Structure 1
Amino acid sequence: MFGKIKPMWGGKPQLKSNYDAVIIGGGLHGLATAYFLAKEHGMNNIAILEKRFIGFGAAGRNTAIVRANQRTQENVPLYKEALDLWPILTKELDYNLMFNNCGNLNLMHSEAAMKAARMNVCTAQFHGVESHLLDAKQVKELEPAINISPDITYPIHGAMFHPPGGVVRHDAVVWGLAKGAARYGVHIHQQTEAKAIHTKNGKITGVDTSRGRIHTPRVLVSAGGYSAGIINKMLGIRLPISVLTIQAMVTQPLKPVLNHVVSSGMYHAYANQTLKGEIATGAHMDPWPNYTTLTTAHYIKHQAEALSDFLPFLRGVKFMRHWAGLADMTADMAPIMDGNDPIGGFYMDCGWGYFGFKSCTATGRYMAKFIASGECPDMLKPFNWRRFEKHKLMGETAALVSYSADN
């Protein structure tokens, strides 16, 4: 009975022997790229290959925060465009993505951090992104639940406030993009594993899957934490990516109390209140490479101690669910978006760490343009994988390190 139930985006398509492009990975970036390839470039003979089911990986294991207050001049425009696309996509897809631009409040805990935040704010404002620097009193006025007293572990000196940021329902984005792509003829093949990528004379020729061979001149690998392993195993290209576990959890539902997304680099914690009233919270990644999605008691203790310090209303509140996902992090905390190098027709979109959800709309659009034309858009050029060979790392790491610059 259950085997006959159709996915909400349509019936299960037959796997064809030829596609104009194959996308390995049924997450947000793969779905967005397929959607824009079909909608804006007329390429609807596309296959998405997903080993399990769409949204299985990081797309379904995140806290759904979106923002455009990154640090570098390469990153800010990309994230701004992604942020601007949420209301547009809601209309295009005719699907409620539950975008709530409640604003992001990034706490600062030292004068050194405040100085670094001024640079972040100036960079954002230069690129037309609304961002403000607040003192501790203004933080309290904006978010009364925050404890600004000097007797907490890391006293709050101020914050960056980014009003356009907020949260989006991650599952809704998966379902909306899947419906949109399928409507334009894209084939979504779940429980279909990519086994090998074939090349000839330096160009892509096909993909072996668990259901047969596909002939195709274009392949995009966009499989989140599994991307680097797939690319290395199937094409012999080694990327400077470490895969780490990142954990998150939610509390029992509460009455509305938290008005914005609140984060602290010093406490390594962030929190926002969901539409159901839960406080969703996450922190930094586990500090060792691994492929596990197991959760730890250490993390529960960390979150309880951190959140109850600067958000004291949470003392005594129960955690209800706890999960983990995989983050593929590069050495400079910036992604890799590249193609036709060193293999013609091969494209990669990976290394997003915990920033992938925030960028999926704009990235999908630019990767679609790249794949359709074969020419790399200017927006993506700084994110090529050869930058690591040339030791030209991007400076996005400072966006997090600056918060604890006095350590």
Structure 2
Amino acid sequence: MFKRCKRLWNTYPLKSHYDAVIIGGGLHGLATAYFLASRHGMTRVAVLEKRYIGFGGSGRNTAIVRANQRTQENLPLYKEALDLWPVLTKELDFNLMFYNCGNLNLAHSEAALKAMRMQVASAQFNGVKIELVDRRECKELIPILDISDRPRYPIFGGMFHPPGGIVRHDAVVWGLARGASKYGVHIHQGTEVQGIGVRNGKIQHVDTDKGRIHTPRVLTAAGGYSADISYRMLGIKLPISPLTIQAMVTQPLKPILHHVVSSGMYHCYANQTLKGEIATGAHMDPWPNYTTRTSAHYIKHQAEALGEMIPCLRGVKFMRTWAGLADMTPDMAPIMDGNDHIQGYYMDCGWGYFGFKSCAVTGKYMAEFMAKGECPEILKPFTLRRFQNHNLMGETAALVEYTSDN
């Protein structure tokens, strides 16, 4: 006889008072709620999600995790994020399907190789396991790569990051939700935030379509909608543009791609899932928008790019395609900060490409920030004030190779 599975997290009626309210039921919001409760004993926490948890970017990414960033501000954060996955798997007692299969970033020019040398040196200095490889070593790692001169952008080499890999994004959503709920966190799905109340420079309440919540702390972690919420409800302008990123998967294949592979020149990255599908993502739409519709342009782009790098995939069918929003800042680095003029208001946004990779460690430190009222040292470089002070980070140089015809 069929036995109904037990729900992973509990449901509660909306209370009129909470010690903290988190806007956004994605990975960053859930992780912060979990660490607030588990590390700081703050169990009167509400997570408010307009639709359902994991609806946004948390469920619309390609599940890649890595710590091969470029700058001294980013590297320690992403290294700790990568190291945290097996710890969190054990702590949550939930299989997050973490698989550190390794990440290979391809270089298609001598200039790109020189940039990678600096990136590898910076990462190694911060204790990240990574190495520069030539094109023959790229072929040894991924035998199906075409390292000849035939492709439009031949492979010159790359950098291999063995600890990188993939984590099942849905499993992380469910695991964090269950973990937070065990500590008493209230997760309210289908609850729309309509306003944030401030009095004498302090957070007072949050208005929802189900009633008013009195609280001294509010965190906005709503991904691509964070900038709109901050401006519309509090008048805080954030230098964030919501941009659509599209992804897709092929029909299932026998195991042929044993590492994550990416190319900035082709604007393409790919990995093979447990089901055998090749999951691949492209570059962002070049204009701000809030749509999650897909386009034939990017399907064609991905087919051409994968066919260039991995010729054996030509003729393989795409089975599904989807899109998500990336909240992109000018320097491709996030904003993790409080507000100078509104006590009790916190922001975790502007993650662009990198929100999934960082969710657990960000939740850990944002929870500390909210509980103690003091910004942890590791988060201080990500202040909103860096834009006012013209102190932007240099992460963009490590991401994309541009050519005149791109």
Q: Same fold (TM over 0.5)?
A: yes
SS in 2 for 1:316: coil
Tell me if the contact between 2:63 and 2:356 (Cα under 8 Å) persists in the aligned partners. Answer: yes
Equivalence for 1:216 = 215
Distance 1:405 1:360 in 2: 32
Where structure 1 has 5 or more consecutive residues not aligned to the other structure, the ranges are none
Matched, 1:275 2:270: no
Tell me if the contact between 2:9 and 2:177 (Cα under 8 Å) persists in the aligned partners. Answer: no
Equivalence for 2:48 = 49
Distance 2:9 2:122 in 1: 44
Deviation at 1:70, TM superposition (A): 0.5
| AA in 2 matched with 1:148 | I
Equivalence for 1:58 = 57
Tell me if the contact between 1:109 and 1:404 (Cα under 8 Å) persists in the aligned partners. Answer: no
| AA in 2 matched with 1:248 | A
Distance 2:161 2:395 in 1: 17
Distance 1:47 1:339 in 2: 19
Matched, 1:12 2:11: yes
Deviation at 1:8, TM superposition (A): 2.5
SS in 1 for 2:95: coil
Deviation at 1:306, TM superposition (A): 0.5
Equivalence for 1:73 = 72
Equivalence for 1:187 = 186
Tell me if the contact between 1:113 and 1:405 (Cα under 8 Å) persists in the aligned partners. Answer: no
| Matching of residues 121-200 of structure 1 within 5 Å | 121-200=120-199
| AA in 1 matched with 2:22 | I
| Matching of residues 6-405 of structure 1 within 5 Å | 8-401=7-400, 403-404=401-402
Deviation at 1:9, TM superposition (A): 2.5
Deviates more, 1:150-159 or 1:10-19: 10-19
- The CA deviation string for residues 252-299 of structure 1, in whole angstroms up to 9 with x for no partner, is 000000010000000110110000000000011010100000000000
Tell me if the contact between 2:25 and 2:47 (Cα under 8 Å) persists in the aligned partners. Answer: yes
SS in 1 for 2:39: helix
| AA in 1 matched with 2:229 | I
Where structure 2 has 5 or more consecutive residues not aligned to the other structure, the ranges are none
Distance 1:313 1:139 in 2: 16
Distance 2:83 2:178 in 1: 21
Distance 2:402 2:94 in 1: 40
Deviation at 1:313, TM superposition (A): 1.2
| AA in 2 matched with 1:206 | H
Distance 1:357 1:230 in 2: 21
C-alpha spacing 1:29/1:148, structure 2 compared with 1 (3 Å): same
| AA in 2 matched with 1:57 | G
Deviation at 1:41, TM superposition (A): 0.3
SS in 2 for 1:79: helix
Distance 2:98 2:377 in 1: 28
- TM-score, structure 2 length as denominator? 0.97
Tell me if the contact between 1:63 and 1:282 (Cα under 8 Å) persists in the aligned partners. Answer: yes
C-alpha spacing 1:52/1:6, structure 2 compared with 1 (3 Å): farther
SS in 2 for 1:355: helix
| AA in 2 matched with 1:98 | M
- TM-score, structure 1 length as denominator? 0.97
SS in 2 for 1:354: helix
Distance 1:308 1:365 in 2: 41
- The CA deviation string for residues 48-100 of structure 1, in whole angstroms up to 9 with x for no partner, is 00000000000000000000000100001000001001001111111000000
Tell me if the contact between 1:328 and 1:352 (Cα under 8 Å) persists in the aligned partners. Answer: yes
| AA in 2 matched with 1:193 | E
- The CA deviation string for residues 311-344 of structure 1, in whole angstroms up to 9 with x for no partner, is 1110110000000000000000000000142210
Deviation at 1:40, TM superposition (A): 0.3
Deviation at 1:151, TM superposition (A): 1.5
Tell me if the contact between 1:113 and 1:406 (Cα under 8 Å) persists in the aligned partners. Answer: no
Q: CA RMSD in A?
A: 1.2
Distance 2:402 2:105 in 1: 12
Tell me if the contact between 2:139 and 2:145 (Cα under 8 Å) persists in the aligned partners. Answer: yes
SS in 2 for 1:56: coil
SS in 1 for 2:46: strand
SS in 2 for 1:379: helix
Distance 1:405 1:299 in 2: 18
Distance 1:313 1:348 in 2: 45
Distance 1:107 1:353 in 2: 21
The number of equivalent residue pairs is 402
- The CA deviation string for residues 184-230 of structure 1, in whole angstroms up to 9 with x for no partner, is 00000000011100011101011001100000000000000000000
| AA in 2 matched with 1:395 | G
